[in-house]
């Protein structure tokens, strides 16, 4: 048991040390989310206007951009596995007298920690986009970011464990990451989509992580009351709004007609993460 904990710590510390030393990696991971926020936010703000409940489009996008930064960094953490394999370091680790489970858990935890720190850097932009952050919100946000980061880092580790070249991993990352991101509600509300697209959005586990983070950021923006029997507010149109005081229910993800709460969203993400992490550990145990 102590050997596995030590292996987890060493692998985790190595990932964290690599992140701190490679400052270019830190800035490059921030560049794309900021680019999306500036281009999409400035470009579509006047076109879209305010969303349900008077939420400004840039304010709506900002929580999604924070989530996107976490997702991108967590998913790319799997790249270090492919890199270590190409340079022979992974083989040395796998033949060491330590449980392979510790290697998988250390890689996942290291990638998740780096991703959470990356997302926290974007919190300094909150006053610029008009989002009020309180110590309570930040305290609630950190475990949310960690759960989302662990789930996506587990997916990255699972995919990377079967890859043999950096080119193959980068191609598959593009094929998986961008559809999951664009179909998670980062850039647009997921309340009034075509039925077939809504099905894809609800199957996507990233959707629930983005929804939970957005609900926390937009908490306190009170929406007008709705008719519970219809689920429609005359001022919001057929957006599927549900009654509530603090959460932006008109923008929330609904599952079987029920608006998801932050806790329920996190439950879905945690369940997905547990399944994917189990598969990642199993895949590492089968490494040659």
Q: Which helix (H) or strand (E) holds 254?
A: strand 254-255
Cα–Cα distance measured from residue 239 to residue 221, given in angstroms and rounded to the nearest whole number = 17
The CA-atom distances, in angstroms, between 1 and each of 4, 6, 94, 101, 191 are 5, 9, 17, 11, 47
Q: Looking at 60-64, 199-203, 206-210, which range is the least confident one?
A: 60-64
Q: What is the pLDDT of residue 239?
A: 32
The sign of the CA dihedral 266, 100, 115, 159 is: negative
* Residue among 180, 206, 177, 216 nearest 273 (CA): 206
In terms of residues, how long is the chain?
Answer: 288
If phi > 0 it is left, if psi is from -120 to 50 it is alpha, else beta; for residue 248 that is beta
Residue 246 tokens, joined: 């603090």
Q: Cα 158 to the chain's mean position, in Å? A: 16
Contact of 65 with 36, CB cutoff 8 Å: yes
Strand partners, 259: 254
pLDDT at 228 over 50: no
Cα–Cα distance measured from residue 234 to residue 145, given in angstroms and rounded to the nearest whole number = 35
Which tops the pLDDT comparison, 83 or 68?
68
Instruction: Name the DSSP class of 232.
Output: B
Contact of 155 with 75, CB cutoff 8 Å: yes
Cα–Cα distance measured from residue 153 to residue 247, given in angstroms and rounded to the nearest whole number = 28
Stated pTM of the model: 0.81
Kindly list the domain boundaries of the chain, sorted by start residue.
2-285
Q: pLDDT-based confidence at 151, cuts 50/70/90?
A: very high
The pLDDT tens digits of the residues spanning 240-268 come to 333 344 444 456 677 777 788 889 999 99
């Amino acid at each position: 048991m102590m050997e596995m904990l030590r292996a987890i710590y060493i692998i985790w510390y190595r990932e964290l040390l690599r992140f701190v030393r490679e400052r270019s990696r830190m800035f490059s991971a921030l560049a794309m989310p900021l680019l999306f926020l500036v281009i999409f936010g400035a470009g579509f703000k006047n076109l879209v206007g305010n969303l349900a409940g008077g939420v400004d489009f840039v304010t709506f996008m900002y929580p999604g951009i924070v989530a996107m930064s976490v997702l991108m960094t967590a998913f790319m953490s799997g790249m270090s596995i492919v890199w270590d394999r190409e340079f022979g370091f992974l083989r040395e680790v796998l033949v060491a007298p330590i449980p392979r489970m510790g290697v998988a858990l250390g890689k996942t935890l290291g990638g998740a920690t780096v991703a959470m720190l990356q997302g926290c850097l974007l919190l300094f932009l909150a006053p610029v986009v008009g989002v009020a952050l309180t110590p309570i919100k930040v305290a609630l946000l950190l475990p949310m970011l960690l759960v989302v980061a662990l789930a996506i880092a587990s997916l990255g580790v699972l995919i990377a464990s079967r890859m043999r070249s950096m080119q193959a991993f980068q191609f598959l990352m593009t094929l998986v990451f961008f559809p999951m991101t664009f179909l998670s509600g980062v850039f647009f509300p997921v309340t009034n989509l075509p039925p077939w697209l809504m099905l894809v959005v609800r199957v996507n586990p990233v959707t629930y992580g983005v929804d939970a983070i957005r609900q926390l950021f937009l908490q306190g923006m009170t929406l007008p009351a709705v008719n519970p029997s219809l689920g429609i507010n005359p001022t919001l149109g057929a957006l599927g709004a549900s009654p509530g005081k603090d959460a932006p229910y008109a923008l929330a993800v609904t599952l079987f007609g029920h608006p998801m709460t932050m806790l329920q969203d996190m439950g879905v993400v945690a369940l997905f993460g547990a399944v994917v992490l189990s598969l990642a550990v199993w895949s590492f145990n089968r490494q040659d």
